[in-house]
Amino acid sequence: MITIDSLNKQYHTPRGSYHALRDVTLQVKKGDIFGIIGLSGAGKSTLIRCLNRLEEPDSGSIVIDGREITGLATHELRDARKKIGMIFQHFNLLDSRTVQGNVAFPLELAGFPRKEITRRVAEILDLVGLSDKAGSYPAQLSGGQKQRVGIARALANHPEVLLSDEATSALDPQTTRSILELLADINRKLGLTIVLITHEMSVIRQICGKVAVLDRGEIVESGPVDAVFSAPSSATMRLFLEHSTLLQGSGAGI
């Protein structure tokens, strides 16, 4: 379970400061796929990066599985991060390492013995369907395959939570679909809690159980996806819904 309580984050720029996050309070239950949607600049990325403190919040607290992330000292934070997987929009794989080497990376950092690493890497590559690419370099892979490596790397060290920072935004619709299927599959098989941010309604629709809408740093609406979709209370959500039905409608009308 993830509990976010009155999280605030301000950015100070030469032209003044602005609130990236304003009193964000959220709860994510264990085993949920929780989507956070918002327009660009809404603070989604800041929010998800606060969860493993790639960004430091100014105030408020984050508790993941009983451990207060916001209160950890540097070395404790490093240990906690080993149990929080993260995937990225631009994959962020190491180009100098093969697929196998990339997936082994977090296990090396955690100090696993070589034999154990080899075994685990093979197991997890099988899970994401990339066993035949173990010896390839990232440059030889498609975007979808790269994200599968990213997912395998994030899962290697048995995390309790997976953070997805716009993981499908750089992918085409078909690839997005297959990556989301993989995430849903992992969520079912491993009971892994997934928090994802996106600006695409289709992502929320396809795999999320719960959704929160972020607008200019504030949560303007949250709840089960069905409920929010059938009776949106925020202007932002209505706008998102209008857009996605408009697109569907124009397709059906031709």
Partner 1 sequence: MNEDLIPMLLTGFGETLYMVVLSTVAAVVLGLPLGVLVVITSTGHVLESPRLNRVLGTVINITRSFPFIIMIVLLLPLSRFLVGTTLGATAAAVPLSIAAAPFLARIIENSLKEVDRGKVEAALAMGATPLQIVRKVLIPEALSSLVLGLTLAVITITGFTATAGAIGAGGLGSLAIRYGYMRYREDVMFATVLILVIFVQGVQWSGDRLARRINRNQHRLG
Binding stretches for partner 1 (CB under 8 A): 52, 54, 77-82, 84, 86, 88, 90, 92-97, 105-106, 108-110, 136-141, 153, 157, 163
Residue 2: C-alpha distances to residues 67, 166, 193 (Å):
9, 19, 9
DSSP 182-221: HHHHHHHHH--EEEEEES-HHHHHHH-SEEEEEETTEEEE
- State in angstroms the smallest separation of the CB of 95 from partner 1: 4
Residue number with CB closer to partner 1 (113 or 251)? 113
Q: How far is the CB of 92 from partner 1 (least distance, A)?
A: 4
For residues 35 and 159, which CB has a smaller minimum distance to partner 1 in the complex? 159
Cα Rg, the chain, nearest whole Å: 19
Which CB atom, from 149 or from 186, has the smaller least distance to partner 1?
Answer: 149
Q: What's the rounded Cα separation, in Å, for the pair 70 and 78?
A: 12
CA 196 to chain centre: 4
User: Which two tokens mark 251?
Assistant: 């397709």
**Residue 8 CB, nearest distance to partner 1 (Å)?**
21
Q: How far is the CB of 6 from partner 1 (least distance, A)?
A: 24
Element (H, E) at 225: helix 225-230
Choose between 161 and 213: whose C-beta lies nearer to partner 1: 161
Complex with partner 1: residue 93 or 225, whichever CB lies closer: 93
Least spacing, CB of residue 94 vs partner 1, in Å: 6
In whole angstroms, give the CA distance from residue 199 to residue 166.
Answer: 8
68 has which bridge partners?
63
